[in-house]
Amino acid sequence: MKVLKWIFIVIGILIAVILIYSATLPSQMKIEESITINAPADKVYDQVIDFPSWNQWSYWSMLDTAMKQEFSETMGEIGSKSQWWSKNQMVGNGQQEVVEIRKNEYMKVKMQFDGQPGFPNAEFILEPGEDGTKVRWTFIGPETPFYKRIFAKLFEPMLVNAYQTSLKNLKEYVEAMPTAPTMPAGVTLEELGSQMIISILDSTTGDGISAKLTEMYTELSIFVESNKDLDMAGMPMAIYHSYSPEKVVMEGAFPVMGSAESSGRVKLYSLGAGTALKGIHYGDYAASEDLHNAIYDYIEASEYQMAGSPWEVYANDPTTVDSAAVETHIYYPVSK
C-alpha cells in the first residue's frame, strides 16, 4: 500500500509540475516562419490567394492527396473560402476564410477545425526586396486555458515543421514557373476611347507606303474641305491590315469630329474603344520597324492576343521638325 501511496504522490507532483509549467506558457500559440522567393510579389501573391493551388505546395495537402475539398467561386477577396475533409488525423476537417487582404502585400485568414474551440488566424506578409519577395507566414492560435497550454506547446514543433516545409515547397513551385515576358522599354498599356475617323483602304508595296499615304491624305483632306460639318480632330494615321515587302494592305485615316456621309472609297466610321499597347518611336521612320517587332514579339510571348489591326499616328510633321524629333505613335490593340 505504501508503494501505491508513493506512486500516487509522485503522479500528483508530476501533474502539479505540468500544470504549473503549463500556466507559465503564453495563452496563445504564436509562430512565424519566412522564406525569400526569387520572384516578384504579384507572382507569389497569385499563388497564396488561390486556395486550389495550395495543393501544389501545402504540407497538409501532401499528407492526404485524396482529401475532399471545396472552394469559393472567386479567390483573392474578403470572404474567399476553402473547406476540407480528411481521414488523416494530422489534417482533419476544417475551413479557412479570407478576412483581410491587400493586393500583392497581405492576406489574413480565419480558420476553424472540427472539434477544436476558437478561431486561429494566419497571415501572409509579402515584402519585396533586391533578392525577390520575402514571405512571412504567421499563426496565432485562440486563447487557451492554462491547463491546455502544454498541449499547444507539444504541437508547436509539428506546426513549425509544416510551415517550413510548405514555404520551401512554395519557393520551389513559384521559382519553377515560367517567367513572364518583360514589356519592351517605353511601351505602355493604354485604355483608349472610341474615335471617329475617315479612311481610305488601299494597297501598295513596302517601298510605296510613303507615296500611297500622301495620295490618300490628299484625297481625305479634299473630302473634309468639301464637307462643312466635318473637321479634322487629330494627326494623320495609318492602319496596317497586312504587311509584306511585296504587298501592304492599309488604311490612310484622319480623326474627325462632326458628321458626313461616306462617299466612294472614303469611309466614315468609329474606331472602337479598347486596350492597346503603345510605343513611341523618335527619328527616322524606317527605323520604327524595330519597335513594331518588339511589341509584336511581346504579344506572342505574353497573355495578350491581338484584337485588331495595328495603327500608327504621325504626331508631328517631319517637314517642320528635325529628323531626330519625328514622332511616330504605334498602337497594337490587344485583349486577354
CB atoms within 10 A of CB 60: 19
Contact residues for 197 (Cβ-Cβ < 8 A; gap 6+): 237, 253, 254, 255, 256, 268, 269, 270, 271
Spatial neighbors of 297 by CB under 8 A, at least 6 apart, are none
101 with 70: CB under 8 angstroms?
no
Q: Which among 105, 93, 5, 8 has a CA at the least distance from the CA of 48? A: 105
- CA–CA distance, 50 with 45 (Å, rounded to integer): 8
Is residue 134 domain-resident? yes
Residue 158: CATH number of its domain: 3.30.530.20
Indicate whether 182 belongs to any domain: no
pLDDT value of residue 138: 94
pLDDT for 178-196, tens place per residue? Answer: 887 889 999 999 999 999 9
Co-location of 255 and 320 in the same domain: yes
For residues 129 and 43, membership in a common domain is answered with yes
Confidence of residue 22 (pLDDT cuts 50, 70, 90): very low
| Model confidence pLDDT, tens digit, residues 25-47 | 454 678 899 999 999 999 999 99
Domain that holds residue 255: 188-335
| pLDDT tens digits, one per residue of 240-296 | 999 999 999 999 999 999 999 999 999 999 998 999 999 999 998 888 999 999 999
Which residues are paired to 128 by β-bridges? 133
pLDDT score, position 118: 67
Q: Are residues 139 and 46 in the same domain?
A: yes
pTM over 0.75: no
CB-count exposure of residue 188 (10 Å: 0-12, 13-18, 19+):
exposed
Q: Is residue 108 included in any domain, yes or no?
A: yes
Q: Are residues 303 and 273 both part of a single domain?
A: yes
Looking at the fold, whether 150 and 220 belong to one and the same domain comes out as no
pLDDT surpasses 70 at 150:
no
**151 in the same domain as 48:** yes
Strand, helix or coil for residue 215 = helix
CATH number at residue 303: 3.20.80.10
How many of the other CB atoms lie within 10 Å of CB of 291? 19
Structural domain count of the chain: 2
Q: Cα separation of 203 and 174, whole Å?
A: 48
- The answer to whether position 54 is within a domain reads yes
